[in-house]
Amino acid sequence: MQITIGLQVIQQNVGAPYLVAADWSLPSAANTLCIRDRTDTWAPEDFFPTVPDALAKNPEINTVMYMWCGQPETAEWQALLQDYIGRMNALEQQYPKVLFIYATGNAQQTDCSGDSRNQFNIALREYCRSQGKPLFDFGDIDAWSNGEMATYVVPNWCVHAGQSIPKEHPNYYEPNGPGHTTLASCENKGKAFWWLLANLIDTNTPVKLASFKAEVRGEGVQISWRTELEWDHLGFSLERSEDGQAFTEIDFIPAVRGGSSGQGYSYRDAKVKQGVHYFYRLKEIGRDGRFEYYGPVQVTVPLPNRFGLLNAYPNPFNQSTCIAYSLPADVKVQLDIVDAGGAHVRRLENGWRSRGAYEVSWDGCDDSGIVLSSGVFLVLLTTDQFRDMRKMVLMR
């Protein structure tokens, strides 16, 4: 009711687009926030059983939130919290296309009841942070009309004796006013609710991307992105293309748990070729199977400006390994495999190569095709300007 009143105050003061319609049954109005506000279901045992019926009769409902009153004031607040989380989780599983918003309650009591309410809020905040759940932190913006009842020290006979529970917004009370809220406090809740909805429902996926970029770093490409907001999704499929049309997944990056306020992600793509232009895009995947693409971003891996022979990979190896080298100019190349004693085993390259980066596979056989036994081998890169070697271990 307080949120509804606050939304109505905003509508009266500002008008469009902050239009709201609220009633016991769901109103129908275009370009308007329509709210089914039932004050007869203030207890969780009354509210939650009504949700399936409400969603069945009103399939256009896309957001559900239960607001606490004074129920968490009992010493059994932990059991109440677990019951609440269990009910919300069950609804999330049953209705994956509906957004379920968690909410704290007020802590407006000066005895152990207030202590229990406060501990309930602390635990619920931590749960929502760790699980990436959307939370309307009602307790942070509420205050009794009597200021003395909004800031107090927990009595000595309570569990958290001596702990101070502060009033977050001292300007939202009247020292001798009636009731447990004010019109200004309701308006503040309405503003917070509009902000929450604007951040959660302005897209078909539960992610708002703040930045996405790709940069050449050393021998690879560093792809990084940051979310402005994200909640309850699986993660990101990172895809790559050389023509900007046909994309292939190179890895899946799970969502950071507790990332509702936004997170940073980074991935290093080491399997790139010099002189090639790459496109990268993100496929954000929701828990309900929906997905949305971001990007692409583009980057060109420059041609080499120096000779280089990289370590073979994998190394050690069993069946085959890949040997990569780079050339800053057109040169004649020899790429040889020798054993630990320096005896020739296999010639992999022998001829002119243009400037660029190359990869050659070795299958662990000699020039005659004989499969070699386990041992240490060296790969030698030789040109008229450069010579280098790397060690490899063959394990049969």
SS (H, E, C) 172-192: CCCCCCCCCCCHHHHHHHHHH
Per-residue pLDDT band at 197 (split at 50, 70, 90): confident
The DSSP code sequence of 66-97 is ----SGGGSTTHHHHHHHHHHHHHHHHHH-TT
Per-residue pLDDT band at 43 (split at 50, 70, 90): confident
**pLDDT exceeds cutoff 60 at 203:** no
pLDDT at res. 204: 47
State mean pLDDT over 68-81. Answer: 81
pLDDT at res. 178: 47
Q: In the chain, where are the structural domains located?
A: 2-200, 207-300, 308-394
Listed range (233-247, 284-298, 333-347) with the worst mean pLDDT: 284-298
Mean pLDDT of the chain: 84
| Residues 87 and 51 sit within 8 Å (Cβ to Cβ) | no
Alpha-carbon dihedral angle through residues 43, 46, 48, 53, given to the nearest 10 degrees: -150
**Cβ atoms < 10 Å from Cβ of 223:** 27
Between CA 231 and CA 102 the distance in angstroms is 12
Tokens of 244: 């900007």
- Antiparallel, parallel or unpaired: β 233-241 and 220-230: unpaired
**pLDDT exceeds cutoff 80 at 8:** yes
Q: Say whether domain 207-300 belongs to CATH 3.40.190.10.
A: no
The DSSP code sequence of 192-232 is HHHHHHHHHSSSSSSEEEEEEEEEEETTEEEEEEEEEEE-S
Does this model's pTM top 0.85? no
Tokens of 83: 């019951």
Per-residue pLDDT band at 25 (split at 50, 70, 90): confident
In angstroms, how far is the first alpha carbon of the chain from the final one? 73
Q: DSSP label at 119? A: H
Give residue-wise pLDDT tens across range 331-356: 999 999 999 999 999 999 999 999 88
Per-residue pLDDT band at 283 (split at 50, 70, 90): very high
Among residues 109, 124, 175, 187, the alpha carbon closest in space to that of 146 is found at 175
pLDDT at res. 243: 94
Q: Say whether domain 2-200 belongs to CATH 3.40.50.
A: yes
- Find the length of the chain: 396
Q: Say whether domain 308-394 belongs to CATH 2.60.40.4070.
A: yes
CATH topology agreement for domains 207-300 and 308-394: yes
Cis amide linkage into residue 314, ω under 30° from 0: yes
Give residue-wise pLDDT tens across range 107-161: 666 667 777 888 888 899 999 988 888 888 877 555 544 445 445 566 666 666 6
Tokens of 200: 């959660």
